[in-house]
Amino acid sequence: MKRILAVTGVISLALTLAACGEEDDTTTDTGTTTQTATEAATMEETTTEETTVAEEAGEDIVDTAVGAGSFNTLVAAVQAAGLEETLRGDGPFTVFAPTDEAFDALPEGTLDALLADPEGDLTEILTYHVVDGEVPAADVVEMDGQAVETLQGGSFTVELEGEAVVLVDAAGNRVNVTTTDVEASNGVIHVIDTVLSPTP
């Protein structure tokens, strides 16, 4: 009788230990599952951040100008003149970009007349604002007194007034560079406060 009780006690003890082992395994599995899920979520967030940065880094001159929100007239003019594909190309290009306010300051009716003949004077004016190659501000300030050739074929002159950079166009207008080094994937944009004129 004592032997039967002893055997029964051993079996009970074994079952109890087995149950405890299963609980421990479940706990471990749950912990591992939670850790794996957390790691996956972290990887997904990192990948999303990297993708966003990559997309931003991939914005060309046109997309960068659109995103800035202050070059709506310039972008519309570029599209009307059929230059969008060019400015989305490999480049690199340097664009001296007039703001919407700069276009608004043109004499009344000028912009409408330009848009009515996009392959004429409008193209000439727009390409006069583009320089072949990437010219950062650090290089521009080294060009004091120099003429800069544009894609249009004409040139404007860079002058320094203290720390300010001024562009003197073919008509003798003095145009201020207000913001520099707006980077794009295929070049750089410098913001100007007046539309440059390629003709005297």
- Report pLDDT digits (tens) over 99-131: 999 999 999 999 999 999 998 999 999 999 999
Q: Which secondary structure element, helix H or strand E, spans residue 4, and what is its range?
A: helix 2-57
Please choose, from the candidates 98, 83, 89, the residue with its C-alpha nearest in 3D space to the C-alpha of residue 60.
89
- DSSP secondary structure, 107-144, as one string: PTTHHHHHHHSIIIIIHHHHHTTEEES---HHHHGGGT
Domain ranges of the chain: 1-57, 60-192
Residue 131 CA, chain-centre distance (Å), reads 20
Given a cut of 70, whether residue 41 has pLDDT beyond it is no
Given a cut of 80, whether residue 171 has pLDDT beyond it is yes
pLDDT at position 110 is: 96
Q: Is the dihedral of CA 74, 80, 81, 83 positive or negative?
A: positive
Over residues 126-146, the mean pLDDT reads 97
Given a cut of 80, whether residue 183 has pLDDT beyond it is yes
pLDDT at position 45 is: 46
pLDDT at position 86 is: 97
Contact 189, 65 (CB under 8 A): yes
Q: Which secondary structure element, helix H or strand E, spans residue 158, and what is its range?
A: strand 155-161
What six digits make up the tokens of 115? 């848009």
Given a cut of 70, whether residue 175 has pLDDT beyond it is yes
- Taking CA atoms, 96 is separated from 70, 71, 157, in Å, by 13, 11, 13
Please choose, from the candidates 63, 60, 188, 64, the residue with its C-alpha nearest in 3D space to the C-alpha of residue 134.
188
Over residues 179-195, the mean pLDDT reads 98
Q: Which secondary structure element, helix H or strand E, spans residue 181, and what is its range?
A: strand 174-184
Name the CATH code of domain 60-192 (choices 2.30.180.10, 1.10.1510.10, 1.10.3720.10, 3.10.180.10): 2.30.180.10
- Taking CA atoms, 134 is separated from 21, 90, 91, 94, in Å, by 68, 11, 8, 5
Question: Which residues, 6+ apart, have CB-to-CB distance to 141 below 8 Å?
Answer: 160, 165
CA–CA separation, 152 and 130 (whole Å): 8
